[in-house]
Structure 1
Amino acid sequence: MSALFRPAPPLGVRILSTAQALPARVVSTAEVAALCGVPAELAQKRSGVRERRWLSEGETALSLGAQAAREALAQAGLPPEQVDVLLNASGSQLQPIPDGAALFARELGLRGAATYSLHGTCLSFLVALQHAALLIHTQQARHVLIVSSEGGSLGLNPAQPESTLLIGDGAAAVLLGPAERPGQGLHAARIETYPEGADHTRIRGGGTLLMPQNPRAEHRDFTFDMQGLQVLKLASRVVPGFLERLRPGLSTGLPGIDRVIPHQASQAGLDLLRRYGWPAERVEVTLPTLGNVIAASVPLTLHQALRAGRLGVGETALLVGTGAGLIAGGVILEV
């Protein structure tokens, strides 16, 4: 089985800065549970989420993404005109056209930079990180800005408590540049797709297969639909082999890994990591306070680990997860 690519390690790349932007509104699980008509205590236990952020008046995924991007540029002291490539790595799209990256570029005042989206559902950031590393390592770009921004709360269906209790909104931005030292950068990357899971997580409407004016279209076709148990069963079967192909030994331990930055899919998904012999103290978790922020989950969790000093310069992180499709993805990055 082939991967997206297998780099001859490492691809020299460095994180120059990270930033986050979260909605002002904090929504408790009790509030969401009432919306779904389920007991609050049971909802929190099963979802693993105490609270999440949801967009409120005056906020959009566009405004949050632009805010995070501006902060990342400011932290690095980099003027916007020095961004060579802006990658939109978001699971929930702002609109069909123009591409969301062009909208972020307009907000930031970027003119003449390359801007486009890389869409791998919940793993969009991992796909963008791999792509950015290739661009920088081959000197096709010097500075690449990745923006992941999500407004998934706008497409939830309270009749599906399983997903409604999980999803949160937010944005993260990561600015990348050339490596400073030998060994710094991307040591491994892999993407695998198992399309038998394509219908387990989906939003059916909005594309050419089911347009809003289609007489067969229903409101629920434009909301998030997830069969969590089916996703978990498929992931439990395919992920161990995927991990071994990413780096031998990962399905039973953490060889050469200092910190795990997982996609915050669900409590059940995080619990699954214990099967691989990964110590809980080396796994970064944001699910209880942010929920599942779709493609922004991984960069938000990476930002938290870097900001708190749980991942530092010279250490190696495993960024890993699954997304709709079903896609399994992982990146091993020396910071």
Structure 2
Amino acid sequence: MDTTSLGIVGVGHYLPGAPVSNEAVAETASVDIEWIRERTGIESRHYAAPESLTSDLATQAATLALAGAPVGADLIVLGTSTPDKLAPSTACYVQKKLGLPGIPAFDVSAGCSGFLYALSVATAMTAAGLARHPLVVAADVLTRCVDPTDHRIAPLFGDGAGAVQLGPVPAGYGILALELWADGSLSEIATMPRHDGYFQMDGRGVKRVVMERGPKILEAALAKAGVRLDELNRVLIHQANPKLVRMLGDFVGIPPEVAPDYGRLTGNTAGASVAVAFSMAHADRPFRDGDLFALLAVGAGMTAGAAIVRWYDPDTAA
């Protein structure tokens, strides 16, 4: 099966607990509420409960994706930077919690590009005949790795998970193109220590890479798919923060109605961000048969990924 006949047939996301307001974050980080709103555009985010693991969030999202799909999973690829343990993989815990023994399951680490890297791996494995119905999940609880008193970083992040179930769709639909990129010489822009210490990020460095690499990788994916930018019905960009999403959209020429802002309500959910935004977009205004959309992310590594997908709706397809 080539990538033109592999499509998204189920989707779901999970945001833990009640929304955490800017007021709550501002008090802990000793920062002005208006500063958060003006600098980031974020109004709320979600925090996982102390007893919740990344695999718990991932399982919730995966369950929703599977519930809406006509096929079951025969592979799990999970993108995360906050695994339950260094070993075994968090995907194995998700496999156990879903009750799917025997199917391959493993993690991918690519920062905020984690979902797109995981999607690419699952697609390639399907093309190689190693799977037919992969489940792709991305989940992070990065708020536990952030200094809550750091006013530069603490307001930005939230926890969450998103998932898509893949399956066969007619030729011309599904995943039309995928593009990946990484540059390890930029690795110190965003880092997280293995043991003690908090997540560190050079905000200006991140912004520079997003604005330089984001348009290029999106352009490469569009060219590979043979699709024009103005043909896209929606573009789901990594929700680093609403200000940066809009800046990138304006630079590329994507109007606000095509590149919706969900980070205002979720904060930056790291590797889960694109999957969460995709699921929220579908819930907000369901994709119609033939709709074209792009997924785009830039993350630690530095890494980047883009995908072009044509939606297939068996109920309304001609």
Mind listing any 5+ residue stretches in structure 1 that lack a counterpart?
1-8, 207-211, 213-218
Write out aligned runs for 1:170-249 (5 A).
170-179=160-169, 181-203=170-192, 205-206=193-194, 212=195, 219=196, 221=197, 223-248=198-223
Matching residue of 1:288? 264
Percent of aligned pairs with the same amino acid: 27
Q: How many aligned residue pairs are there?
A: 308
Matching residue of 1:34? 27
Q: Deviations over 1:272-299 (max 9, x none)?
A: 2211111111012211101110111111
Equivalent residues of 1:46, 1:267 under 8 A apart: no
1:14 and 2:7 aligned: yes
| Cα root mean square deviation, aligned | 2.2
Paired residue secondary structure (1:147)? strand
User: Which stretch shows the higher mean deviation, 130-139 or 94-103?
Assistant: 130-139
Sort the Cα spacing of 1:196 and 1:138 in 2 relative to 1 into closer, same or farther, 3 A. closer
Write out aligned runs for 1:1-335 (5 A).
10-76=3-69, 78=71, 82-179=72-169, 181-203=170-192, 205-206=193-194, 212=195, 219=196, 221=197, 223-248=198-223, 254-270=229-245, 271-335=247-311
Equivalent residues of 2:3, 2:123 under 8 A apart: no
Q: Deviations over 1:77-120 (max 9, x none)?
A: 65xxx421011112322210011111111111221101111221
Equivalent residues of 2:4, 2:171 under 8 A apart: no
Measure, in 2, the Cα distance between the counterparts of 1:62 and 1:243: 30
Sort the Cα spacing of 1:10 and 1:258 in 2 relative to 1 into closer, same or farther, 3 A. farther
| TM-score, structure 2 as length reference | 0.90
User: Which stretch shows the higher mean deviation, 58-67 or 87-96?
Assistant: 58-67
Could you tell me how far 1:58 is from its partner in structure 2?
A: 4.1
Matching residue of 1:215? none
Measure, in 2, the Cα distance between the counterparts of 1:43 and 1:202: 22
Paired residue secondary structure (2:152)? helix
Sort the Cα spacing of 1:191 and 1:104 in 2 relative to 1 into closer, same or farther, 3 A. same
Equivalent residues of 2:9, 2:70 under 8 A apart: no
Measure, in 1, the Cα distance between the counterparts of 2:60 and 2:177: 31
Sort the Cα spacing of 1:248 and 1:109 in 2 relative to 1 into closer, same or farther, 3 A. closer
Could you tell me how far 1:194 is from its partner in structure 2?
A: 2.7
Equivalent residues of 2:237, 2:296 under 8 A apart: yes
Measure, in 2, the Cα distance between the counterparts of 1:328 and 1:170: 20
Could you tell me how far 1:140 is from its partner in structure 2?
A: 2.9
Measure, in 2, the Cα distance between the counterparts of 1:190 and 1:14: 16
Measure, in 1, the Cα distance between the counterparts of 2:4 and 2:124: 7
Mind listing any 5+ residue stretches in structure 2 that lack a counterpart?
312-318
Could you tell me how far 1:10 is from its partner in structure 2?
A: 4.9
Equivalent residues of 2:54, 2:90 under 8 A apart: no
Sort the Cα spacing of 1:156 and 1:284 in 2 relative to 1 into closer, same or farther, 3 A. same
Equivalent residues of 2:136, 2:165 under 8 A apart: yes
Equivalent residues of 1:29, 1:40 under 8 A apart: yes
What letter corresponds to residue 275 of structure 2 in structure 1? P
Measure, in 2, the Cα distance between the counterparts of 1:238 and 1:148: 22
**Runs of 4+ off more than 4 Å:** none
Measure, in 1, the Cα distance between the counterparts of 2:285 and 2:258: 12
Matching residue of 2:316? none
Measure, in 2, the Cα distance between the counterparts of 1:149 and 1:122: 10
Paired residue secondary structure (2:102)? coil
Paired residue secondary structure (1:161)? coil
What letter corresponds to residue 189 of structure 2 in structure 1? H
Measure, in 1, the Cα distance between the counterparts of 2:34 and 2:174: 43
Q: Deviations over 1:246-273 (max 9, x none)?
A: 33599xx824311101100123421222
Could you tell me how far 1:158 is from its partner in structure 2?
A: 3.0
Measure, in 1, the Cα distance between the counterparts of 2:156 and 2:40: 6
Could you tell me how far 1:243 is from its partner in structure 2?
A: 3.3
Equivalent residues of 1:23, 1:54 under 8 A apart: yes
Could you tell me how far 1:235 is from its partner in structure 2?
A: 2.9
Equivalent residues of 1:16, 1:175 under 8 A apart: yes
